[in-house]
Amino acid sequence: MESIDSNIVETVLIILAVILVLFIVIKVFTLPISIANNKNLASNEITTIRILTWCGLFAGITWFIALCLALAYKGKA
């Protein structure tokens, strides 16, 4: 009985760790989009950053390009 309880606790902890890691990965992945939205960029600039960010799933370098653009573009005054 004791080993069944420890297996349940271990399983729950592993599931929580996986959820936490996924949450962190998603937050880091969408960082360029968040930066662009917070800087109040024009809609065409935000669209460019979103496309490059999501293309980063297939070619990781585009994510870095999106991050650079999000940091480089000037926001609306």
Could you write out the DSSP letters of every residue in 22-64? Answer: HHHHHHHHTHHHHHHHHTT--HHHHHHHHHHHHHTTTSTHHHH
Residue 46 lies in a domain: yes
> Does 4 have pLDDT greater than 70?
no
Tell me if 77 is assigned to some domain.
no
Q: Structural domain of residue 57, as residue ranges?
A: 2-72
pLDDT digits (tens, 9 = 90+) for 25-47: 999 999 999 999 999 888 899 99
Report d(CA 10, CA 8) in Å as an integer: 5
Average model confidence (pLDDT) across the chain: 89
Q: What is the pLDDT of residues 17-30, one digit of tens each?
A: 999 999 999 999 99
Higher pLDDT, 75 or 35: 35
Which pTM was predicted?
Answer: 0.76
Q: Domain count of the chain?
A: 1
